[in-house]
């Protein structure tokens, strides 16, 4: 699992640095390399934005669940078994015709891992972190999203231990859809706020 990527090679000094650190800690009995394999497998194959998409789809399909999600997102999400690391204290923020929500962590890389998995590189990098709070419309345009000039934009800077999940608006033409089918319309970016839900094909 750990040596199957062709961008890596033994000559990369940072790869060597990480390998040395893992070796030292393993030799000292401080870490279990097999635990690393399980962690990587968890975040590469088990915990990802499909979790969040199911939360959003359920909120679209079930008004009672949506109300619970708005009131106590941690408990509502836990009821779907998506609790865990970096999802201990959740808040769901709902887009409306009036307001579009956008989530950022200007100070580091805080992100709701339990529902979205590991964050993309751009979310952790200076361009997004610096600009989301001062020029959100410019940021959204880089994602191909041009909002009406009258739409209010609310940026949530994740400066504490609350983790934010954006619930995009449900697209029209999806009446009666199953939650599984609805979840296919919900991208990772839609739950950060850099996209809308996909329109049905």
Partner 1 sequence: MNGPHDLGGQMGFGPIAPEKDEPYFHAAWERRALGVTLTAGAMGAWSLDESRHARESLHPADYYSSSYYQIWIKALETLLKRHGFVSDRDLAAGKAVDPAATPKRVLKAENVPAVLAKGGPCDRPVSTPARFSAGGRVRTKNFHPTGHTRLPRYARGKRGIVEAVRDGFVFPDSNAHGKGENPQWVYTVVFEGAEIWGEGADPTLTVSIDAWESYLEPA
Query: Which residues are annotated as part of the binding site for Fe(3+)?
Result: 105, 108-110
Give whichever of 61 and 77 is closer to partner 1, judged by the CB atom.
Answer: 77
137 binds partner 1 (CB under 8 A): yes
126 binds partner 1 (CB under 8 A): yes
167: β partners:
94
How large is the C-alpha radius of gyration of the chain?
19
Binding partner 1 by CB under 8 A: which of 50, 94, 145, 153? 153
Q: Which pair of tokens denotes residue 74?
A: 């941690």
Q: Does residue number 96 form part of the binding site for partner 1 (CB under 8 A)?
A: no
Grouping H, G, I as helix, E, B as strand and the rest as coil, residue 49 is helix
SS3 153: strand
Can 110 be counted among the known catalytic residues? yes
Catalytic hit among 108, 114, 130, 158: 108
Whether 114 is catalytic: no
Binding residues: 105, 108-110
Interaction between residue 51 and partner 1 (CB under 8 A): no
Q: Which of 174, 169, 172, 173 is nearest to 195 (CA)?
A: 169
Measure CA 73 to chain center. Answer: 15
Q: Which residue has the tokens 């608006």?
A: 169
- Is residue 155 within the footprint of partner 1 (CB under 8 A)? yes
Where in the sequence numbering do the catalytic residues fall? 105, 108-110
């Amino acid at each position: 699992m750990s040596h199957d990527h062709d961008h890596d090679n033994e000559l990369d000094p940072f790869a060597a640095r990480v390998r040395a650190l893992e070796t030292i800690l393993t030799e000292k009995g401080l870490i279990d390399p097999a635990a690393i394999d399980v962690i990587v497998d968890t975040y590469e194959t088990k915990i990802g934005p499909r979790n969040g998409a199911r939360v959003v789809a359920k909120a679209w399909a079930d008004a009672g669940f949506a109300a619970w999600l708005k009131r106590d997102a941690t408990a509502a999400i836990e009821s779907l078994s998506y609790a865990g690391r970096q999802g201990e204290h959740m808040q769901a923020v709902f887009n409306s015709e009036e307001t579009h929500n956008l989530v950022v962590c200007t100070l580091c890389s805080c992100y709701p891992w339990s529902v979205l998995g590991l964050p993309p590189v751009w979310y952790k990098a200076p361009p997004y972190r610096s600009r989301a709070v001062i020029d959100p419309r410019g940021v959204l345009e880089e994602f191909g999203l041009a909002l009406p000039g009258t739409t209010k934009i609310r940026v949530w800077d994740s400066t504490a231990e609350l983790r934010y999940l954006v619930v995009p608006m449900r697209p029209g033409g999806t009446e009666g859809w199953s939650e599984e089918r609805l979840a296919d319309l919900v991208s990772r970016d839609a739950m950060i706020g850099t996209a809308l839900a996909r329109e049905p094909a």
